[in-house]
Structures are given as C-alpha cells and as structure tokens.
Amino acid sequence: MTPRISVWISNSVFVSFLVLSIFYSVVHFENLTLREESTKLVDESNRSFARVQELSRIKNQFPIAYQCHYSFGLSNGSLFESTEKIPYSIYKKLRLGDSIQIYKKEIWILGKRTAISRIMGNDEPLPLLENLEKYFKYSFFYFLVLTVVFLTLRVSGWLFRIYPSQQKPTETGVIVVNNSPDSHQK
C-alpha cells in the first residue's frame, strides 16, 4: 500500500505550479522586451543629459566594481533615477553633481511607464529583470518536480488503493457480512 497524500496538499502544489508558471512567463517575456529595447537604446535620437547623484564602490565584489546613481527628466516632466554599474575608466572621470551624457528611452514594464538608460561609453550590461527571472525559473522547476512527485503518488495510490472490506469481525471471531443497515448480527 502506498502512502496517501492529502488531496489539499497535492492540489495546492499544483495551483502553486500554475501561478508560478504564469508569473515566470510574464517576467520572461518582459525581460525579452527589455533586452530588445536595450539593444536599440544606443541611438542619437535617445541622447540626453543626467546629473550624477552618487558614486560608490560595490562592496564584496571582485574584481573591484563601481556604480553611478544619476537622475534625468522624462517627457512628462517627472524626474527618474537610475543606478548603473560602471568601469573604473568612467568612475575616475565623474564627480558628484556633474552633468553626464546618457542614452534614455521611455518604455512600459509590467504595466508601468518607466525608462531605461545607459551612460555613454559604458559597456557594462544593464540590470534588467535577470534576477527576478532566475527566481521564478528556479521556483518553476522546483514546483514542477513537486507536482510530478505528488501526481505520481496520487495516481499510484489510486491504482493500488485497497478499500476496507465490508466484512466486520465480531467478538467471537466469526465474521458477519453486513450488507444493509437493516440486517442484524447473529
């Protein structure tokens, strides 16, 4: 007899798998769109200026890496802030409050209007939704394995289920068959 898995446990694993599948597909397609837009970003029509807000070294990373936090204006007049990983060659040229040239593009990400930007001359990859996509991908595979395991256990439980016998032993050791609620034991 195989161990029985509670129906609500296997159903909740399956529902979690479905929800994570939806989230993973949404994040994956948004990240594909972001990659495509970031390749089109370096264009003279997207050229703009930004103001350096903060320069810092990224802790606990080898080789040594730096980041620049800057702000720029959007077409609706609001201010947008961005942080970008930069090489040392750009880091040593920048000071707080400097005006720098950037490429910027306004896009929709996950239903929200936002912008992507890149400092001119920077070849570091943009921080897209890579970490979020990895999180959902690993969660997707984890719940896929759990779903397969629970589905296998439930199906094997259905195939080999032993139903309790309708024969009931009595105190004297004689087995009496109880087929209807009106029958009495003798």
- The residue among 54, 47, 116 whose CA lies nearest residue 80 is 116
- Asked whether the whole model's pTM tops 0.75, one would answer no
Q: Which residue has the tokens 């730096």?
A: 66
Residue 122 pLDDT more than 80?
Answer: yes
* CA distance linking residue 105 with residue 2, whole number of Å: 58
Order of strands, sheet of 112-119, starting from the edge strand that comes earlier in the sequence: 79-86, 66-73, 47-57, 99-109, 112-119
Residue 2: which pLDDT band, with cuts at 50, 70 and 90?
Answer: very low
Per-residue pLDDT tens digits for 82-96? 888 888 888 888 888
Structural domains for the chain: 41-127 (2.40.50)
Per-residue pLDDT tens digits for 26-54? 888 888 888 888 888 888 888 999 999 99
Q: DSSP string spanning 78-112?
A: -EEEEEEEE-HHHHTT--TT-EEEEEEEEEEETTE
Q: Which structure tokens are listed for 25?
A: 């597909």
- The residue among 45, 34, 43, 97 whose CA lies nearest residue 71 is 97
Residue 6: which pLDDT band, with cuts at 50, 70 and 90?
Answer: low
Q: Which structure tokens are listed for 18?
A: 């479905």
Positive/negative CA dihedral, 56, 61, 64, 70: negative
CB neighbours of residue 84 within 10 Å: 20
In which element (H, E) is residue 32 found?
Answer: helix 7-39
Between helix 7-39 and helix 130-159 the angle, nearest 10°, is: 150
